[in-house]
Amino acid sequence: MSRPTLTTESGAPVADDQNSQSAGPGGPLLIQDQQLIEKLARFNRERIPERVVHARGAGAFGRLEVTDDVTSYTHAAFLSEVGKRTEAFVRFSTVADSLGGADAVRDPRGFAVKLYTEEGNYDLVGNNTPVFFIRDPLKFPDFIHSQKRDPFTGVQEPDNVWDFWSRSPESTHQVTWLMGDRGIPASYRHMNGFGSHTYLWANAEGRAHWVKYHFTTDQGVRCLTSEEAAELAGRDAGSHQQDLHRAIERGMFPSWTMHVQLMPVEDATSYRFDPFDVTKVWPHADYPLHRVGRLVLDRNPENVFADVEQAAFSPNNFVPGIGPSPDRMLQGRLFAYGDAHRYRLGVNHTQLPVNAPHATTAANNGRDGAMRFDGNGGRAKNYGPDGFGGPVQTGRPLAPGIEVAGTTGAHPPAEHRDDDHFTQAGALYRLMDPAAQARLVANIAGGLSRVSDDGIVERCVAHFHAADTAYGHQVETAVKRLRS
C-alpha cells in the first residue's frame, strides 16, 4: 500500500522531517526552515481552553429509537412514530477536575445527549443525578470556585467545599447523593442519566406538560467504593474512557431506556413543592415514568479532539414541540453554555462536524468570525427581512409561551406548601439499606472531619439532623470520632 507524502500545511512536500536546516553541520539553525518554524509554532497553539467544568470526558455516537407513542404529549418530529431512529452523540464527563484528572473519583457525572433531528439539533444536557447542589445560577460561579483548587494552596480544600455546602442548605439532597454509593460509578456504562431540569413538551394541539427526562442503564447500575476508586484511579486514570471505548470496539454496545415524567402545566402552581426547583425530584408515585425509547451507543469517535473535546452542547438547542421551563438553573444555563462554547471554540463552532445539524442546513444571517469555512453565505444578503430570497421566519414558536406576571426584582422562588431543603434528603437516606447508610456516613465524615472550622462542621451536621435525626446523629458521631 502506497503511503501519502508528508507535506507542509501549504501542501508542499517535506524532504527531511528529522533534521533541521542549519549553517553547516555544527552551525546555528536557520529561520528560513519552514518545516521547523511551522511545526513549533503550531505545537505552541495546539491546546484550546479547556472547559471550566466537565473538562474530563469521553463520548460516542449512536441512535435513539422510539419504542412508545408519545405524540399526545409532544409534536417533536424525532418522537413522531414508534420505530423512528435519530442519530445521537453522547458525552460523559466528570465535573470538578481538569482535563488531566482521573475518571474514578467522587464527583457528579455529566450526561449530555445531542440528537441530530430533521428539525435541527436537540441537546439535552444533564447529569447522572436527578438533582443539583443549588437552584439559582447566581450562585454557580461561587459553587464551582469552592470545589476547585484553592487560589493559595493550589489544591481542593475541604474547608472551601464544606463551608459552601454549610451555607447552602439546599445542597443537602445532592450531597447525600454524591456521598452515597452512586457518587462513584463503576463506569459510564453502568450509571443512569437524567435531564435533571424541568422542560416543556407540547403536542400538535398546543396542550402542554412539564417534563423530566430519565435514562436508565440497561447494563445495570454498578458503583465503586471509595477504596476501590482510589486504587483504580491510581492504576488507570482513564478507566471510564477506556471502558466505554473498549466495550464499543468489542461490539458490546451500551444502551439506556429513556423515560419521562409528565406533569400537566396547570398542576405546577398548586403542587406541594416547587416543581422547577432542581434540588428536588418529582416522586414517581405522583408522576410515574412513561417509556419513550432506547438510546444505543455503537460507534467510537475517529478522533477524540475533533468529536469529544470540540463537542458543544447547549440547553438552548430546542426543536419544535419542546421548550424551557422557569427552572432558574436551566434559565441560567440557556445563556452560559452557548457563551462558553463561543469563548472556547469560536463563534462558528456550530459548523464543526460534531456540532452541525445532519438533516437540515443552518440558514441564518450570521457571517464572518474566526475559522469560517462554509463559504460564509456567498452572495446571499446578511440581513433580514430582505427581498432577495433570504431565509424567512416561520411565525410558529417551538412551544407555547409561559404566562408570567410580577414586579421585577431579586426575588426568592415562589413558596409552595411543602418547600424545604431537607425532606427529600432524609427520604433518600431512609431508602438506603443499613450498609449503604454506613458507607454514606463514612464518606461524609471522612471529608467533614478534615475541616478546620468547627462552625462549618456544626452547620453541616445541623443540615443532616434536619434531614433525618438518625442521619444527623450518625454523621455527628463519626465526625467526632475522627476529629478526636
* CA distances to 28, 99, 147, 341, 344 from 49, in Å: 34, 10, 19, 10, 6
Residue type, 132: F
Among 54, 240, 341, 463, the active-site one is: 54
Is 144 in contact with 52 (CB distance < 8 Å)? yes
**CA dihedral sign, ordered 277, 281, 285, 287:** positive
Is residue 127 annotated as part of the catalytic site, yes or no? yes
Among 121, 127, 300, 317, the active-site one is: 127
Return the axis-axis angle of helices 423-431 and 454-467, rounded to nearest 10°.
70
Let me know how many helices (H) and strands (E) the chain has, helices first: 12, 10
The DSSP 8-state label assigned to residue 308 in this structure reads I
Is residue 284 annotated as part of the catalytic site, yes or no? no
Which residues, in sequence order, are bridge partners of residue 260? 213, 290
Residue type, 240: H
Element (H, E) at 58: strand 57-66
Please report, in angstroms and rounded to a whole number, the separation of the first and last CA atoms in the chain.
70
Is 210 in contact with 198 (CB distance < 8 Å)? yes
Provide the annotated active-site residues.
Answer: 54, 127
